[in-house]
Amino acid sequence: MPDFLEALSVAKRYGGIVALSDATLKARSGEVHALLGENGAGKSTFIQILAGAVRADSGSITLGGERFAVRNPEEAQRLGVAAVFQELSLIPDLTVAENIFFRREPLSPLRTARAGAMREATAELFARYRFPAIRPDQELRRLTLAERQVVEIAKALARDPRVLILDEATSALAPRETEWLLGLSRDLAAEGKLVIYISHRLGEVRRIADRVTVFRNGATVAAYDTASVDDDTIIADMLGRQMERLYPERRNTTTGRIALSVKGLSVENRLADLDLDLREGEVLGVAGLQGHGQRELFQALFGAARASGAIEVWGKPRTIRSPRDALSGRDGLALVPEDRRNHGLLLAKSVRENLTLSVVKRFTRFGLTDPKREAKLVDDMIAQLRIKAGSPEQAAGTLSGGNQQKVIFGKMLLTDARILLLYDPTRGIDVGTKGEIFTLMRDLAARGYAILFYSSDLAELVHVADRVAVLRYGRLAAILEGAENSEHQILRAAMIDTRAA
Amino acid sequence: MNLARHRSILFAYLGLILLLVVTGLVAPGFLSPTHFRSLAVLAAFIGIVALGQTFVVIGGGIDLSVPWVLNAAAVLMTLFAHGQDAPLVWIVPLLLAAGTLVGVVNGLGVGLFGVPPIIMTLAVNVILQGGILVYTGGAPPATAPAAIQFLAVGRIAGFPVIVLLWIVLAIVATLLLSKTAFGRYLYAVGSSATVAEFSGVPTLRTSVAAYALSGFTAALAGMLLTGYSGQAYLGMGDPYLFTSIAAVAIGGASILGGSGHYVGTIAGALVLTVLTGLLPALNLSNGALLVVYGAVILVTVALASEALTDLLPRRRARRIS
């Protein structure tokens, strides 16, 4: 059977960044084809090209034997390609039916939308694909996230596409709806359609995909019949081999003293009953696929999210209601947040004001700030972290990303807190500064700090952390140390059930 | 103060000087010492109301309740004092505390319950207005006690008392903004409440304090203004809504918060007062006068605003990577 969709050597650059260098995917109609790869491997760019949202720089794509070069999503949809993205495109003020037929409304002779016809067509569509219980006339804003995701799928199906692309469509769905979607994918394939299925959940892929294609660093590295390949091979393909001398030598500086002990920590339904111990002098890595509770863990520990459970800091029970609570005192916890620009820095304010924002009281005498004492704190920290700024009065927003991150580190290091919560501290930072930050982390650990370290880059966890806690569905899936602390094992624990639940 | 980072304040003073020069050319008698003294007194009222407004705006909010906080303090003072000086000993502290309390309510509504500042303070303004109308039955109350009149129009060694009071308040405000932890926190909250929160800044306490200060200065201005006009009357606070915000804006504060200084607001208050004094010389009808007044303020604020100063050549911040 000839390939229905054939994409050969597709490439795409954004300025100096290569998003795709050599992406090849061949898929037949009547199959479910899984597309796998780490975050940043180029999967999103690739499907955006198929969906007409992005144009490829080079490469060739044919669909049903004809050249496929679409300029916009409309054209892609006309040629029978419909995509369901992670970001929803629905309008909260419209009903389910109005959303599904948005901009394609059946019109009356007076060119008004025929609401009744839309409702009927929607009901028909729902019946045909056995959609979960959603009424066509419900207002979208009343639906849950999972239900909206289902509507998004309905919207794509309403155009009766020849190719349906599902990008992490199950990540927002509950188990029952997930089952439905897996069944739906098989049914569509049986109808002779092509379903391109992107998911981090290997279990799902294994159940429904006929074939898999693996992307790494913008290129296709492997394609298999699902039945002929094991999970470990797929994971190894996703990771590849990277050797970099980016990481400092790791000496174990962990003492027996427990800095932070978390018992039964739960945050809504995102983090469930988590137990974790962080020791003095230790860098404890946290890993997990996107949205498996890492963010909630850090927010809860810093008092930025409501949580239940018990937290002990340096052996004493502690309740943390706000970041101010968390930061205060010698038994404090300091956070380097994920979002530098919106959570970390006052961009328009000077490096000096940013650095000392959390410790203004320290150079205040008789109610008035003392510029000399402040200057000393600032100068010392700029020197210690080698922050490259024209002067302490330079606006923080004009620094490079790496130096902005150093300012946030400096602000937190000036506090008395000796437990550091670092959430993806090297994201979007140049390699040189990354190295400096890793060295700083190991130095701080050696000085008795205790560091909880999340990174979206597994290699960092493997090379910098002493142990790695892997989260899956908001639960602790594994704690890996020593030889077990490898990218392979982390990804395995994050994706596959390694122990009975 | 670092002038490079307070360019807009510099612009406010340049504008003031320009305005005075033009005034001197158009109406030479306008800048006589006597006239100038009465301008300073009028500017003091705007300056005092705008003091609290400056803090609120720097903190990222806005206080639209000043007219009737001012008016309520004025009316209640005359009602309670019956023209006598002695009761002022408890009346003045009580009303200052009441004004502060109104500010606290504003601050809690905004900071704790998340009501948008415009809605919260506007609602409080209307509630106070209604309350005072009900309480007084719409009848204008008695005259101002002599002691208050002295504060508003009296002089010490030829210097207007209220201007001296304004200078003292200006020093306190400048210290608060430039030299205290509260000042730091206020700029941080106005720049980004989230970043401030993540940095351990007591964000709620800080913004409540700013609104409280605005309630305090509005109440203070209300009592002083009663002394100036000799009596309290309904509606006397209304002009101060516009002028207090305009003074802050002319003074170079971003209405979005996080920047500005009381030093700039002082220039703003003076600019507004000179304008008000100058326009009657144009021999216009009352209505036409208001039109011109509004238009001139609009242009002045636009000139002082960030949008325009950004277009002017600026020492480029060096990007270091």
> Inter-chain contact B200–A358, Cβ cutoff 8 Å?
yes
Mean pLDDT of B215-235: 94
What local confidence, expressed as pLDDT, does residue A38 receive?
74
Q: How many CB atoms lie within 10 A of CB B150?
A: 15
**Is the CB of residue B187 less than 8 Å away from at least one CB of chain A?**
yes
| Stated length of chain B | 321
- Name every chain B residue with its beta carbon within 8 A of the beta carbon of A395: 317
CA-nearest of A480, A454, A453 to A467 is A480
Quick one: which H or E segment has residue A203?
A: helix A202-208
What local confidence, expressed as pLDDT, does residue A245 receive?
54
Q: For residue range A348-389, what is the model confidence (pLDDT) as tens digits? A: 999 999 999 999 999 999 999 999 999 999 999 999 999 988
What local confidence, expressed as pLDDT, does residue A366 receive?
92
What local confidence, expressed as pLDDT, does residue B223 receive?
96
Q: Is the Cα dihedral B57, B59, B60, B64 positive or negative?
A: negative
What local confidence, expressed as pLDDT, does residue A1 receive?
64
Q: Where are the domains of chain A?
A: 1-80+161-241, 92-159, 258-495
The nearest CA of chain B is from the CA of A301 a distance in Å of: 12
Q: Which domain holds residue B167?
A: 33-237+255-261
Confidence of residue B317 (pLDDT cuts 50, 70, 90): very low
> Inter-chain contact A346–B180, Cβ cutoff 8 Å?
no
Mean pLDDT of A129-158: 87
In whole numbers, what is the pLDDT of chain A averaged over residues? 89
Strand partners, A95: A139
* Number of domains present in the structure of chain B: 1
Confidence of residue A154 (pLDDT cuts 50, 70, 90): very high
Q: For residue range A195-232, what is the model confidence (pLDDT) as tens digits? A: 999 987 778 889 999 999 999 888 999 999 999 998 88
- Name every chain B residue with its beta carbon within 8 A of the beta carbon of A343: 194-195, 198
Most confident segment among A381-390, A456-465, A473-482, B51-60? B51-60
What local confidence, expressed as pLDDT, does residue B314 receive?
40
The nearest CA of chain B is from the CA of A20 a distance in Å of: 27
**Is the CB of residue B181 less than 8 Å away from at least one CB of chain A?**
yes
Mean pLDDT of A172-182: 81
Among the partner residues A345, A364, A402, nearest to B181 by beta-carbon distance: A364
In whole numbers, what is the pLDDT of chain B averaged over residues? 88
Mean pLDDT of B242-248: 92
Q: How far, in Å, are A137, A192, A197, A285, B50 from residue A23 at the CA level?
A: 42, 25, 16, 32, 63
Beta strands in A93-218 (DSSP E): 163-167, 194-198, 211-216
- Name every chain A residue with its beta carbon within 8 A of the beta carbon of B196: 346, 357
- Name every chain B residue with its beta carbon within 8 A of the beta carbon of A304: 197-198
**Is the CB of residue B155 less than 8 Å away from at least one CB of chain A?**
no
Q: Is the pLDDT score of A501 beyond 50?
A: no
> Inter-chain contact B201–A390, Cβ cutoff 8 Å?
no
What local confidence, expressed as pLDDT, does residue A75 receive?
92
Among the partner residues A350, A353, A369, nearest to B179 by beta-carbon distance: A369
What local confidence, expressed as pLDDT, does residue A421 receive?
97
What local confidence, expressed as pLDDT, does residue A81 receive?
95
Q: Which amino acid type is present at position B233?
A: Y
Structure tokens at A199: 């998911």
In a domain, B311, yes or no: no
B255 versus A187: the higher-pLDDT residue is A187
CA-nearest of B238, B262, B260, B267 to B305 is B260
Q: Which residue in chain A is spatially nearest to B257 when comparing CA positions?
A: A348
Structure tokens at B236: 């006397």
Q: How many CB atoms lie within 10 A of CB A376?
A: 12
Write out the residues of chain A at the interface with chain B, using a CB-CB cutoff of 8 A: 302, 304, 322-324, 326-328, 335, 337, 342-350, 353, 356-358, 360-361, 364, 367-369, 388-390, 393-395, 398-400, 402-403, 411, 415, 430
**Is the CB of residue B2 less than 8 Å away from at least one CB of chain A?**
yes
> Inter-chain contact B198–A348, Cβ cutoff 8 Å?
no
User: How far is the C-alpha of A491 from the C-alpha of B1, rounded, in Å?
Assistant: 54
- Name every chain A residue with its beta carbon within 8 A of the beta carbon of B259: 348
**Is the CB of residue B320 less than 8 Å away from at least one CB of chain A?**
yes
The answer to whether A444 and A266 are in contact (CB under 8 A) is no
- Name every chain B residue with its beta carbon within 8 A of the beta carbon of A367: 180
Most confident segment among A19-23, A239-243, B56-60? B56-60
The nearest CA of chain B is from the CA of A256 a distance in Å of: 30
Measured torsion, CA atoms of residues B214, B220, B224, B230, in degrees rounded to the nearest 10? 100
Beta-sheet pairing, A58-63 with A66-67: antiparallel
- Name every chain B residue with its beta carbon within 8 A of the beta carbon of A346: 187-188, 191-192, 195-196, 258
Mutation target to probe the A interface, by most A beta carbons within 10 A, among B176, B177, B199 is B199
Q: For residue range A107-122, what is the model confidence (pLDDT) as tens digits? A: 888 888 888 899 999 9
In a domain, B19, yes or no: no
> Inter-chain contact B181–A369, Cβ cutoff 8 Å?
yes
In a domain, B295, yes or no: no
The nearest CA of chain A is from the CA of B194 a distance in Å of: 6
Confidence of residue B300 (pLDDT cuts 50, 70, 90): confident
The nearest CA of chain A is from the CA of B71 a distance in Å of: 33
Share of chain B above pLDDT 90, in %: 62
Beta strands in A193-337 (DSSP E): 194-198, 211-216, 219-225, 258-267, 271-279, 283-287, 308-313, 316-317, 333-336
Q: For residue range B164-220, what is the model confidence (pLDDT) as tens digits? A: 999 999 999 999 999 999 999 999 999 999 999 999 999 999 999 999 999 999 999
Confidence of residue B311 (pLDDT cuts 50, 70, 90): very low
The nearest CA of chain A is from the CA of B22 a distance in Å of: 35
Pick the CATH number of A1-80+161-241 from 3.40.50.300, 3.30.1640.10, 3.40.50.280, 3.40.50.970: 3.40.50.300
> Inter-chain contact B201–A324, Cβ cutoff 8 Å?
yes
What local confidence, expressed as pLDDT, does residue B1 receive?
45
Confidence of residue A178 (pLDDT cuts 50, 70, 90): confident
What local confidence, expressed as pLDDT, does residue A37 receive?
83
A148 versus B177: the higher-pLDDT residue is B177
What local confidence, expressed as pLDDT, does residue B316 receive?
37
Superfamily of segment(s) A258-495: P-loop containing nucleotide triphosphate hydrolases (3.40.50.300)
What local confidence, expressed as pLDDT, does residue B244 receive?
95
> Inter-chain contact A323–B197, Cβ cutoff 8 Å?
yes
What local confidence, expressed as pLDDT, does residue A488 receive?
87
In a domain, B102, yes or no: yes
Mean pLDDT of B128-137: 92
Mean pLDDT of A440-449: 95
Q: Which residue in chain B is spatially nearest to A332 when comparing CA positions?
A: B200
Largest CA-CA distance found in chain A, in angstroms, rounded: 84
What local confidence, expressed as pLDDT, does residue A498 receive?
53
In a domain, B319, yes or no: no
Q: Which residue in chain B is spatially nearest to A390 when comparing CA positions?
A: B318
Q: Which residue in chain A is spatially nearest to B203 when comparing CA positions?
A: A324
Q: Is the pLDDT score of A313 beyond 50?
A: yes
Q: Is the pLDDT score of B155 beyond 80?
A: yes
Among the partner residues A358, A369, A398, nearest to B199 by beta-carbon distance: A358
**Is the CB of residue B259 less than 8 Å away from at least one CB of chain A?**
yes
Q: Is the pLDDT score of B315 beyond 90?
A: no
Structure tokens at A97: 């039916």
**Is the CB of residue B316 less than 8 Å away from at least one CB of chain A?**
no
Cβ contacts of A296 within 8 Å, gap of 6 or more: A267, A268, A270, A271, A305, A307, A474
Cβ contacts of B22 within 8 Å, gap of 6 or more: none
> Inter-chain contact A324–B202, Cβ cutoff 8 Å?
yes
The nearest CA of chain B is from the CA of A294 a distance in Å of: 18
DSSP character at residue B143: B
Measured torsion, CA atoms of residues B116, B120, B125, B130, in degrees rounded to the nearest 10? 130
Q: Is the pLDDT score of B118 beyond 80?
A: yes
Q: How many CB pairs under 8 A join A and B?
A: 96
